């Protein structure tokens, strides 16, 4: 069996690599209020280790790699890593998820390095609320980054929006209106439980509930066809340039079509975002493991992948890292 194929036949061709645990925002749903203890730099993957792992996964059949964080652009060699990975044989898509604050100074170089898919996180269109959610200013810079990315030819620019009751559910319609004349895909993300983020079902708004709210203002919202591995259920208002999507991890899980695996900034392989099981590829490399031995460890982890996550209530009771230490 291919090392990237699990016992249910799911073939994992999409790898997410976290470049750093650091972030220049402090989003409430991502980082515990008390912050997180960052690991010493020596515990994190070096550039050479990241490139080695990316190359190994590319040789095994990964075709898409997304660079995440924390905030990936906090890492000084993020552009160089993008270029090195984008040049690897077999890599068709090199993507990045960013909060946009540092994007203006790096976007031209990132595009030249091969970046061809961009997600920008934005949970509100209101300055005061942005400050409340992220605990930092900067809405104008994020909005400018979205416009700049669109001008640079990223189409669509994907905008990740975590939706929570009492936080921003009253902006769903505003975000849909945002797609009228911009080549964006607003991706409404159900609020998910992670270590230290204080998840409570009273803050949870389901996909069905979001649709109900939006359709009161946009009754002609129309479902589009999605691919077998898509995490987002995509819709569009007829006549709008952009579109919207819903990431329904909690209310309508899509585990059966999952083709994603991820590596944390400290080199742990996680085959499920919501699972606590990890395999330290960093330790194996630093102990002198060959590529064949790394491949065996990867195959073993993927082979143990469960059919589906346990559901939001069980996830909320389980131990896992904070989102910022997993990678967005």
Provide the residue ranges of all domains of the chain, joining segments of one domain with +. Answer: 14-326
In sequence order, which ranges of 165-280 are alpha helices (DSSP H)?
A: 172-178, 207-217
- Order across the sheet with 14-18: list the strands: 222-223, 232-236, 243-247, 184-190, 157-163, 117-121, 93-98, 64-68, 14-18, 260-263, 268-270, 279-280
Residue 23, pLDDT score = 84
d(CA 105, CA 316): 38
- In this predicted model, what pLDDT tens digit does every residue of 146-196 receive, in sequence order? 999 999 999 999 999 999 998 899 999 999 999 999 999 999 999 876 655
Closest C-alpha among 17, 148, 123, 126 to residue 78: 17
Kind and range of the H or E run holding 234:
strand 232-236
Percent of the chain clearing pLDDT 90 (strictly above): 73
Structure tokens at 211: 């649709």
Closest C-alpha among 165, 191, 188, 190 to residue 176: 188
Residue 273, pLDDT score = 79
d(CA 72, CA 22): 8
**CA pseudo-torsion sign 71, 74, 75, 76:** positive
- In this predicted model, what pLDDT tens digit does every residue of 39-71 receive, in sequence order? 899 999 999 999 999 999 999 999 999 999 989
Residue 80, pLDDT score = 98
- The pTM (predicted TM-score) of the whole model is 0.93
Superfamily designation of domain 14-326: Aldolase class I (3.20.20.70)
**CA pseudo-torsion sign 306, 93, 102, 143:** negative
Phi-psi region of 82 (alpha: psi -120 to 50; beta: other; left: phi over 0): alpha
Residues 6+ apart with CB under 8 A from 13: 4, 61, 62, 63, 64, 259
Q: What are the residue ranges in the chain where pLDDT is below 50?
A: 313
Structure tokens at 61: 């059949």
Closest C-alpha among 299, 278, 323 to residue 57: 299
d(CA 79, CA 107): 9
Residues recorded for the chain: 328
Residue 324, pLDDT score = 64
Residue 293, pLDDT score = 98
- Phi first, then psi, for residue 31 (nearest 5°) are -115, 135
d(CA 311, CA 131): 31
């Amino acid at each position: 069996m291919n090392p990237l194929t699990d016992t249910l036949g799911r073939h994992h061709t999409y790898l997410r690599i976290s470049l750093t645990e650091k972030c220049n925002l402090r989003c409430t749903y991502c980082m515990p209020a008390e912050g997180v203890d960052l690991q010493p730099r020596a515990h994190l993957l070096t550039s050479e280790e990241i490139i080695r792992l990316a190359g190994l996964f590319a040789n095994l059949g990964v075709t898409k790699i997304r660079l995440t964080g924390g905030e990936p652009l906090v890492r000084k060699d993020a552009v160089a890593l993008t270029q090195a990975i984008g040049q690897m044989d077999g890599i068709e898509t090199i993507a990045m998820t960013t909060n946009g604050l540092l994007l203006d100074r790096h976007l031209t170089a990132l595009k030249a390095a091969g970046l061809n898919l961009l997600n920008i996180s934005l949970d509100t269109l209101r300055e005061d609320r942005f400050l409340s959610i992220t605990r930092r200013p900067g809405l104008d810079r994020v909005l400018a980054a979205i416009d700049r990315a669109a001008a640079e030819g990223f189409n669509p620019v994907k905008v990740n929006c975590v939706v929570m009751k009492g936080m921003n559910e009253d902006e769903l319609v505003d975000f849909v209106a945002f797609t009228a004349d911009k080549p964006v895909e607003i991706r409404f993300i159900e609020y998910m439980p992670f270590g230290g983020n204080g998840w409570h079902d009273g803050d949870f708004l389901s996909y069905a509930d979001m649709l109900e709210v939006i359709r009161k203002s946009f009754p002609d919202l129309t479902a589009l066809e999605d691919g077998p591995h898509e995490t987002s259920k995509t819709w569009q208002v007829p006549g709008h340039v952009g579109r919207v999507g819903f990431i329904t991890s909690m209310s309508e899980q899509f585990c059966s079509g999952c083709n994603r695996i991820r590596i944390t900034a400290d080199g742990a392989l996680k085959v499920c975002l919501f699972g606590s099981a990890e395999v330290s590829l960093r330790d194996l490399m630093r102990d002198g493991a060959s590529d064949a031995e790394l491949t065996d460890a990867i195959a073993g982890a993927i082979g143990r992948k469960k059919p589906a996550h346990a559901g939001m209530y069980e996830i909320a009771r389980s131990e896992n890292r904070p989102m910022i230490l997993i990678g967005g």
